[in-house]
């Protein structure tokens, strides 16, 4: 849910409650005030009636003026304290029945007790309070509508720079060149946010490049000492008079140098792919490339007694030719290396996807980790565990989705182009 | 044969020097751009081993300089840079071959031999060694008058061993040479063994002495007494 929607939801809820409350309050208050007023006027009328009776010794005529109605009746019980009642017996001149309020009291006149009832209609108060309630409700509705419209246009515009910043961040990649551009705006908070984000992203990118550069340089610089070690060993082994033990030592050292050079070359390659040094892409007929690569491996497969099924449909893709070559090399090598004599490799190419399946004595690999660096399912110190992470890096830079699946004893590596 | 090694890493230069000396190459060494340039002015060489990053200048500039001076020696560039662009650039500037560090000295020797054969003996592409005759153009091998039928890999292996004759060549170096990028397939050493076995059998069956000696755990050695003649 968007921030504005959240804001609106809470805002409107509170506002509505507030207005309903204040509506109820003003309704009750207005009514009470008016009722008091009415009651007071009834009391003053009672005083006037009492005065009249004392002065003239006659009951007031039951005429009604100023909406005031006075009615008298003879009673034997005096009303000790005057009391107020609601009545619906107020009848206007034109015969309409209305709710009213009446004050009942008694007077003594000529040894007779009279119960006097003065009543006034409540109609006026009802109208006023209804008007107040109506006004309040109308105000609520009007305010909510106006606020909704205002939020929609005004607040949306206010937050626009923020969404533009979000958008810029969404497109931010560590390995793309050039600083992130944030739209300029005149809201201080957003400007500060943008400034800070700019600093953070620039620094992150700088660090990332330094790290990449370091990896590349380190791998590069390793090559020369490795060459020296290997050349020294090459010269050393030419001497004839080694004991068996010395030969073993030398062979182990030689093997380790070979592994180390493979490792540093793989790391260098990874760094180069990450640095976008293979950026030029071209249209490639993948089926042709796979056929060519398969024929290169045929001899090796023959030696390993591995059979191969090739099933290709024409598929044209756009990617870097060198990367594709490395990708296929790695995949085919893997399928070969983890195979066993009498095994099988199946390569199929469909519209938009490529799949390489191989038999293997190894158990299923962890699909989550299989493409990560230095992942080794079985203890195999001969390999550096970088082959599939190179595959993953190539996929990442070429917009290919790789996936791994173990099914019916087959390791399946699938690749999807979108 | 006279060789010039232009490489600033002295330990490496020394190794190359002593290894090549055993192949009867006379080697001069230069450790910097300026020194290399001077040596090129004064001496005449059959082949030059050239590093790209040198103190005092870029090895590729030396190539341009040699072109202007019309130096005809073959040039092998050795560099730690292994991208295709670097290779293409080096070859376009006048290098005859490009070898990426770290390399096997056996590989370097084989490539130097190949360059010298190409440069020096145009048209004559036959190596005769003891009983063996190898025609490089047709890729055929004869033992005396009999043809020996070798597979592509066996032929490549034989040529490699001949280039490094009387020297121990490690199984790693052979694997790298035969399979290049695919050499890191786990059991390529088994392949090396089986190819060597087949080659040995074919040579012996066709009346050659058993030239190839296995040195346990280390590699192989092509032992031949007679000096090579290039017919």
* pLDDT tens digits, B9-53: 899 999 999 998 888 888 999 999 999 989 888 888 889 999 988
Minimal Cβ distance to B167: which of A238, A261, A303:
A238
Minimal Cβ distance to B101: which of A227, A255, A380:
A227
- CB atoms A300 and B12 under 8 Å: no
Beta strands across the sheet bearing B140-143: B146-148, B140-143, B132-135, B126-129, B229-230
Last residue of a domain, one of A274, A297, A316: A274
Taking contacts as CB-CB distances below 8 angstroms, the residues of chain B near A277 are: 83
pLDDT of residue A379: 47
- CA-nearest residue to B100 within chain A is A223
Q: Does residue A163 sit within a domain?
A: no
3-state secondary structure of A314: coil
pLDDT per residue as tens digits for the range B152-170: 888 999 999 988 888 889 8
Cα angle for residues B224, B227, B231 (degrees, 5° grid): 120
When computed from its CA atoms, the radius of gyration of chain A, rounded to whole angstroms, is 48
- CA-nearest residue to A238 within chain B is B168
pLDDT of residue B30: 92
Domains of chain B, each with CATH number or no CATH:
2-120 (3.40.50.2300), 126-230 (1.10.10.10)
Chain B residues within 8 Å of chain A (Cβ atoms): 9, 11-12, 15-16, 18-19, 22, 80-84, 100-106, 153, 167-168, 170, 172-173, 179, 181-182, 184-187, 191, 194, 215-219
- CB atoms A234 and B18 under 8 Å: no
- CA A337 to chain B, closest CA, distance in angstroms equals 6
Taking contacts as CB-CB distances below 8 angstroms, the residues of chain A near B173 are: 234
When computed from its CA atoms, the radius of gyration of chain B, rounded to whole angstroms, is 18
Question: How many other CB atoms are there within 10 angstroms of residue A389's CB atom?
Answer: 19
Q: Which residues of chain A have pLDDT under 50?
A: 379, 381
- CB atoms B12 and A224 under 8 Å: yes
- Report how far residue B55's alpha carbon sits from residue B66's, in angstroms, rounded to the nearest whole number: 18
User: Phi, psi at residue A386, to the nearest 5°?
Assistant: -105, -10
Question: How many other CB atoms are there within 10 angstroms of residue A96's CB atom?
Answer: 10
Minimal Cβ distance to A224: which of B80, B83, B184:
B80
Interface probe, candidates B102, B103, B169, B187, chain A, greatest A C-beta count within 10 A:
B102
Judge whether A245 is closer than 8 Å to chain B, CB to CB: no
Q: Does residue A318 sit within a domain?
A: yes
Question: Do A218 and A290 share a domain, yes or no?
Answer: no
Minimal Cβ distance to A382: which of B11, B101, B186:
B186
CATH number of domain containing A393: 3.30.565.10
pLDDT of residue A64: 57
pLDDT per residue as tens digits for the range A231-255: 999 899 888 788 888 888 888 888 8
Interface probe, candidates A221, A229, A231, A358, chain B, greatest B C-beta count within 10 A:
A231
- Report how far residue A145's alpha carbon sits from residue A152's, in angstroms, rounded to the nearest whole number: 11
- Report how far residue A371's alpha carbon sits from residue A415's, in angstroms, rounded to the nearest whole number: 13
- CA-nearest residue to A230 within chain B is B104
Minimal Cβ distance to B182: which of A254, A272, A333:
A333
What one-character-per-residue DSSP string does B163-195 give? HTTTSEEEHHHHHHHHHGGGGGSTTHHHHHHHH
Taking contacts as CB-CB distances below 8 angstroms, the residues of chain A near B154 are: none
Question: Do A229 and A106 share a domain, yes or no?
Answer: no
Tell whether the model's pLDDT for residue B101 goes beyond 70: yes
Contact A262, A381 (CB under 8 A): no
Question: How many other CB atoms are there within 10 angstroms of residue A77's CB atom?
Answer: 8
- Report how far residue B231's alpha carbon sits from residue B136's, in angstroms, rounded to the nearest whole number: 12
| Angle, helix A3-56 to helix A156-170, in steps of 10 degrees | 160
- CA-nearest residue to A328 within chain B is B182
Structure tokens at A70: 């006075």
- Report how far residue A106's alpha carbon sits from residue A117's, in angstroms, rounded to the nearest whole number: 8
Question: Do A206 and A301 share a domain, yes or no?
Answer: no
- Provide the domain limits for residue A101: 3-130
Question: Do A266 and A287 share a domain, yes or no?
Answer: no
H or E element that contains A349: strand A344-350
pLDDT of residue B40: 87
Q: Does residue A248 sit within a domain?
A: yes
Residue B132, beta-bridge partner list: B129, B143
Q: Does residue A287 sit within a domain?
A: yes
Judge whether A268 is closer than 8 Å to chain B, CB to CB: yes
pLDDT of residue B48: 92
Q: Does residue A138 sit within a domain?
A: no
Q: Which of residues 282-321 of A touch B (CB under 8 A)?
A: 296-297, 299-300, 303-304
CA within 13 Å, CB half, A24: 5
- CA-nearest residue to A335 within chain B is B185
Question: Do A308 and A195 share a domain, yes or no?
Answer: no
Interface probe, candidates B101, B155, B181, B216, chain A, greatest A C-beta count within 10 A:
B101
Q: Which of A14, A75, A81 is nearest to A46 (CA)?
A: A81
Question: Do A64 and A105 share a domain, yes or no?
Answer: yes
Pair type for strands B132-135 and A307-312: unpaired
- CB atoms B218 and A304 under 8 Å: no
- CB atoms A333 and B184 under 8 Å: yes
- Residues in contact with A242: Cβ distance below 8 Å, sequence separation at least 6, in sequence order: A250
- CB atoms B182 and A383 under 8 Å: no
- Report how far residue A239's alpha carbon sits from residue A229's, in angstroms, rounded to the nearest whole number: 16
Tell whether the model's pLDDT for residue B150 goes beyond 70: yes
Task: Give the Å distances, CA to CA, from B122 to B114, B115, B142.
Answer: 12, 11, 21
Cα angle for residues B212, B217, B223 (degrees, 5° grid): 20
Pair type for strands B74-79 and B47-51: parallel
Question: Do A242 and A310 share a domain, yes or no?
Answer: no
- CB atoms A244 and B168 under 8 Å: no
Give percent of chain B with pLDDT exceeding 90: 21
Q: Does residue A370 sit within a domain?
A: yes
Question: Do A248 and A196 share a domain, yes or no?
Answer: yes
- CB atoms A337 and B186 under 8 Å: yes
Judge whether A108 is closer than 8 Å to chain B, CB to CB: no
Q: Which of A8, A25, A329 is nearest to A154 (CA)?
A: A8
pLDDT of residue A170: 86
Last residue of a domain, one of A233, A256, A274: A274
Tell whether the model's pLDDT for residue B217 goes beyond 60: yes
Judge whether A81 is closer than 8 Å to chain B, CB to CB: no
pLDDT of residue B181: 66
Contact B76, B48 (CB under 8 A): yes
Residue A116, beta-bridge partner list: A72, A105
- CB atoms A300 and B182 under 8 Å: yes
- CB atoms B184 and A268 under 8 Å: no
First to last CA, chain B: 16
3-state secondary structure of B230: strand
Minimal Cβ distance to A251: which of B102, B179, B218:
B218
pLDDT bracket for residue B77 (50, 70, 90): very high
Q: Does residue A111 sit within a domain?
A: yes
- Report how far residue B100's alpha carbon sits from residue B83's, in angstroms, rounded to the nearest whole number: 9
**Cα A13 versus chain centre, distance:** 23
Contact B104, B160 (CB under 8 A): no
pLDDT of residue A355: 92
Quote the number of domains for chain A.
3
Q: Which of B73, B60, B79, B62 is nearest to B9 (CA)?
A: B79
pLDDT bracket for residue B98 (50, 70, 90): very high
Taking contacts as CB-CB distances below 8 angstroms, the residues of chain A near B106 are: 234
Taking contacts as CB-CB distances below 8 angstroms, the residues of chain A near B191 are: 300, 303
pLDDT of residue B186: 55
Question: Do A413 and A287 share a domain, yes or no?
Answer: yes
- Residues in contact with A310: Cβ distance below 8 Å, sequence separation at least 6, in sequence order: A290, A291, A294, A347, A348
Minimal Cβ distance to B15: which of A231, A244, A304:
A231
Last residue of a domain, one of A274, A299, A329: A274
Pair type for strands A97-109 and A83-91: antiparallel
Judge whether A212 is closer than 8 Å to chain B, CB to CB: no
Question: Do A38 and A118 share a domain, yes or no?
Answer: yes
Question: Do A19 and A69 share a domain, yes or no?
Answer: yes
Q: Does residue A69 sit within a domain?
A: yes
Taking contacts as CB-CB distances below 8 angstroms, the residues of chain A near B184 are: 262, 333, 383
**E-state strands within A76-122:** 83-91, 97-109, 112-121
Structure tokens at B127: 């190596």
ipTM of the prediction: 0.84
Question: How many other CB atoms are there within 10 angstroms of residue A194's CB atom?
Answer: 22
CATH number of domain containing A258: 1.10.287
Taken in order A234, A235, A238, A242, is the CA torsion positive or negative? Answer: negative
Question: Do A27 and A115 share a domain, yes or no?
Answer: yes
- What's the whole-model pTM score? 0.65
Taking contacts as CB-CB distances below 8 angstroms, the residues of chain A near B179 are: 300
Q: Which of A18, A66, A61 is nearest to A42 (CA)?
A: A66
- Report how far residue A26's alpha carbon sits from residue A388's, in angstroms, rounded to the nearest whole number: 75
- CA B94 to chain A, closest CA, distance in angstroms equals 23
């Amino acid at each position: 849910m968007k921030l504005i929607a959240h804001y609106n939801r809470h805002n409107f809820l509170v506002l509505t409650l507030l207005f309903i409350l204040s509506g109820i309050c003003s309704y009750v208050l207005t009514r009470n005030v008016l009722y008091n007023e009415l009651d007071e006027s009834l009391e003053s009328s009672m005083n006037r009636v009492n005065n009249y009776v004392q002065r003239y010794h006659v009951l007031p005529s039951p005429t009604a003026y100023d909406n005031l109605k006075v009615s008298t009746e003879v009673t034997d019980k005096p009303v000790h304290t005057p009391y107020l009642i609601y009545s619906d017996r107020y009848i206007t001149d034109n015969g309409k029945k209305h709710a009213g309020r009446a004050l009942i009291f008694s007077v003594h006149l000529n040894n007779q007790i009279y119960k006097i009832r003065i009543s006034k209609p409540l109609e006026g108060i009802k109208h006023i309070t209804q008007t107040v309630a109506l006004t309040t409700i109308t105000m609520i509705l009007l305010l909510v509508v106006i606020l909704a419209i205002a939020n929609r246009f005004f607040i949306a515009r206010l937050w626009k720079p923020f969404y533009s910043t979000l958008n810029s961040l969404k497109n931010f990649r560590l390995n793309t060149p050039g600083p992130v551009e944030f739209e300029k705006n005149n809201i201080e908070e957003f400007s500060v946010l943008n400034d800070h984000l700019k600093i953070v992203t620039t620094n992150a990118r700088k660090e990332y490049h330094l790290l990449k550069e370091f990896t590349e340089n380190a791998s590069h610089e390793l090559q020369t000492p490795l060459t020296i070690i290997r050349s020294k060993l090459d010269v050393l082994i030419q001497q004839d008079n080694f004991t068996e033990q010395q030969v073993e030592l030398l062979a182990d050292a030689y093997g380790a140098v070979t592994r180390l050079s493979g490792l540093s070359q793989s790391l260098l390659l990874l760094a180069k792919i990450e640095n976008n040094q293979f950026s030029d892409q071209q249209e490639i007929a993948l089926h042709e490339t796979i056929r060519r690569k398969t024929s290169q491996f045929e001899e090796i497969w023959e030696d390993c007694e591995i059979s191969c099924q090739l099933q290709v449909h024409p598929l044209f893709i756009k990617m870097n030719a060198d990367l594709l070559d490395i990708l296929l090399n790695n995949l085919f090598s893997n399928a070969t290396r983890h195979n066993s004599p009498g095994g099988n490799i199946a390569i199929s190419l469909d519209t938009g996807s490529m799949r390489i399946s191989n038999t293997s004595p190894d158990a299923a690999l962890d699909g989550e980790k299989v493409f990560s660096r230095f992942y080794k399912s079985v203890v195999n110190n001969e390999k550096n565990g970088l082959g599939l992470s190179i595959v993953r890096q190539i996929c990442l830079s070429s917009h290919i989705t790789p996936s791994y699946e173990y099914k019916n004893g087959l390791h399946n590596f699938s690749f999807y182009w979108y | 044969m006279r060789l010039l090694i232009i490489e600033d890493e002295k330990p490496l230069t020394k190794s190359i020097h002593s290894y090549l000396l055993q192949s009867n190459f006379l080697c001069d060494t230069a450790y910097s751009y300026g020194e290399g340039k001077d040596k090129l002015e004064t001496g005449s060489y059959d082949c030059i081993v050239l590093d790209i990053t040198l103190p005092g200048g870029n090895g590729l500039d030396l190539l341009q300089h040699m072109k202007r001076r019309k130096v005809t020696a073959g040039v092998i560039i050795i560099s730690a840079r292994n991208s295709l662009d670097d290779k293409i650039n080096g070859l376009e500037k006048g290098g005859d071959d490009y070898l990426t560090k770290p390399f096997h000295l056996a590989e370097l020797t084989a490539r130097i031999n190949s360059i010298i054969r190409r440069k020096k003996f145009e048209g004559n592409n036959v190596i005769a060694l003891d009983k063996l005759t190898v025609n490089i153009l047709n890729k055929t091998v004869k033992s005396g008058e009999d043809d020996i039928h070798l597979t592509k890999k066996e032929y490549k292996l034989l040529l490699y061993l001949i280039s490094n004759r009387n020297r121990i060549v490690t199984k790693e170096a052979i694997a790298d040479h035969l399979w290049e990028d695919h050499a890191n397939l786990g059991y390529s050493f088994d392949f090396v063994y089986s190819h060597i076995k087949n080659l040995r059998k074919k040579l012996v069956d066709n009346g050659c002495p058993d030239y190839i000696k296995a040195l346990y755990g280390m590699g192989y050695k092509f032992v031949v007494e007679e000096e090579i003649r290039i017919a």
